[in-house]
Amino acid sequence: MKQTLILAIMLMANNITLLAQKHSILDSYKHYSIHTENDTIHYHTYSTQHTDSINTIFLYLQGSSAKSLYQIKKRNGKTAIGTTIPFDFATIPKDYLFVVISRKGFPFLTQKDPPFSIPKSYFENQTLEYRTNQADLVINDLYKTYSKQIEKIIVLGHSEGSDVTAKLGTINKKITHFGYWSGGGNTQFIDFVTFIRKDVDKGNLTEEQAITKIDSLFNDLKDIMSNPNATDKFWQGKDNSYKRWSHFSEPPVENLLRIEKPIFAAIGTKDQAVAIESAYLIPIEFIRHQKNNLTFKVYPGLDHAFGLEIEHGRFKDYWNDVFLDFLSWVNKTK
């Protein structure tokens, strides 16, 4: 009983410490807005140092979650803070200015209970072009302030954010290093075919069942591309409009090939959202075009978020290990 009580006290202390750390991180952010003729973009910077010591801008472009960057939940007198930002902030170098951008229509912080309703403006701007333009304007805005002291501008995109990173590299020449994580080379549509074929190889589907599923998939894709700007029709979840799918359908490798600065592409072999076969198209195309600015790393056993399943339903997080590999690459790559 005494050991149980001690353990409970230790767990409670750890939870209080983690909550205090998250509150400290939230309090360290500074918040900015860019006003254009038709839009307002909200971005947020984090640094523990005085701005004079910053020499690197580090922009993180998150995936497709229709959420605020931070979510707070209070129940029975307890507070929990969730986030779409997967970093251990202790791993971010002190001379880095960490930057994130709010999704269109979402505040920086929202309450989980009651849940924040996805605004109409989010679906109306759920496109590759919009997110790319957002990031471009944010980098240019920051550059005005830090141009005399900045040595590097790093953009790291994960999942849908990787598509944005690739597109961004075609229009913003200030960026010095690119991180392309958990993204394919081909159109996102091909992944659905690949995963169906993998189910055949695993014995989960017969050939006839696979043909039926793929034919149904083709019909869905035809409907999407026939209604490319529909924000009231959804596919693969209530958060992904037809407009989102049609505007994120271009093969990212075509944009990656237009980038001349160093690129660090990373993929896990157990990625359940992006077929690794699609990711392998990236080094193949760079070899075919005789381009040498790509570092391509495959992480055995890791999933879409760089987690390793250690037993059924339990995962060990390796995101920060991949990030440390990325930082090492940045430090030795010009």
| DSSP symbols for 81-97 | EEES----GGGS-TTEE
Encode pLDDT of 203-244 as tens digits.
999 999 999 999 999 999 999 999 999 999 999 999 999 999
Determine the average pLDDT of the residues in 118-142. 97
Q: Which fold has domain 2-188+248-332?
A: Rossmann fold (3.40.50)
| Domain limits, the chain | 2-188+248-332
Encode pLDDT of 75-124 as tens digits.
778 888 999 999 999 999 999 999 999 999 999 999 988 889 999 999 99
Question: Count of alpha carbons within 13 Å of 292, Cβ hemisphere only?
Answer: 2
Question: Comparing 12 with 201, which gets the higher pLDDT?
Answer: 201
User: Which two structure tokens, joined as six digits, stand for 229?
Assistant: 């700007």
Contacts of 141-147 spanning 24+ positions with Cβ under 8 A: 141/32, 141/34, 141/43, 142/45, 142/57, 142/97, 142/99, 143/57, 143/174, 146/51, 146/54, 146/57, 146/97
* pLDDT reading at 14 higher than 80: no
The mean pLDDT of the chain is 92
Instruction: Give the Cα separation of 128 and 137 in Å (integer).
Output: 14
Encode pLDDT of 312-333 as tens digits.
889 999 999 999 999 999 999 9
